[in-house]
Chains A and B, each alone.
Chain A
Amino acid sequence: RKEVEQDPGPFNVPEGATVAFNCTYSNSASQSFFWYRQDCRKEPKLLMSVYSSGNEDGRFTAQLNRASQYISLLIRDSKLSDSATYLCVVNRGTGKLIFGQGTTLQVKP
């Protein structure tokens, strides 16, 4: 079983749509959680950290459910510039980041 699992998509949505991505992780000892965004052939860029209390940054909302070992990302009012691959990332506390395969989002006009 993969340590971090994501639906690869692609998710094709119109501009202005709300889209949600989910991720599950298998290691209950995982300590910190992140969403990164990756554009084609570029480096992963930190989108946001994810906390059990939930956190919001503009149009983006992330949520962590430790009991279910489940992480989510909600994007509201999608923009063309949101088109990218979204990476669910877990840190066991040692610093080593474990990446999911990524979920591809394509926002269409």
Chain B
Amino acid sequence: EPEVTQTPSHQVTQMGQEVILRCVPISNHLYFYWYRQILGQKVEFLVSFYNNEISEKSEIFDDQFSVERPDGSNFTLKIRSTKLEDSAMYFCASTGTSNHEQYFGPGTRLTVT
């Protein structure tokens, strides 16, 4: 069964450093998303991406964040200068159409020290 994959599973970084989180969505999907979940809190939407551009972003997704689909398979989230409060689980998701079920990757646990 096709699945979304994410790397790394855990990333530890120092405050102010740049991190890139990687995702490989399900191959025939067209819509891609990033969500985050701070420990003990609910899952929050960050950004949606379709047709090589951002469709929607939340207020969390400020200038420090960017997304890219550098090739036909990868979808990346970059945080330019990490803050302590960026520590969270980051989930990538994909779907074939915007109103349908989204399938989530296993997540990257980001720890900013």
Contact = CB atoms under 8 A, between A and B. Distances in A.
Contacts of A101: 41-42
Interface string B85-110: 00001010101001111111111010
B95 A95 contact: yes
Interface string A27-49: 00001101000100111111001
A95 B42 contact: no
Contact of B56 (A31, A49, A96): A96
A44 B91 contact: yes
Interface residues of A, number: 23
A-B pairs, top 5 by smallest CB distance, nearest first, are A95-B98, A43-B104, A99-B43, A95-B48, A96-B45
Contacts, number: 61
B52 to A, nearest CB: 15
A94 B55 contact: yes
A32 B106 contact: no
Interface of A: 31-32, 34, 38, 41-46, 49, 87, 91, 93-102
A101 B93 CA distance: 19
A45 B48 contact: no
A34 B101 contact: yes
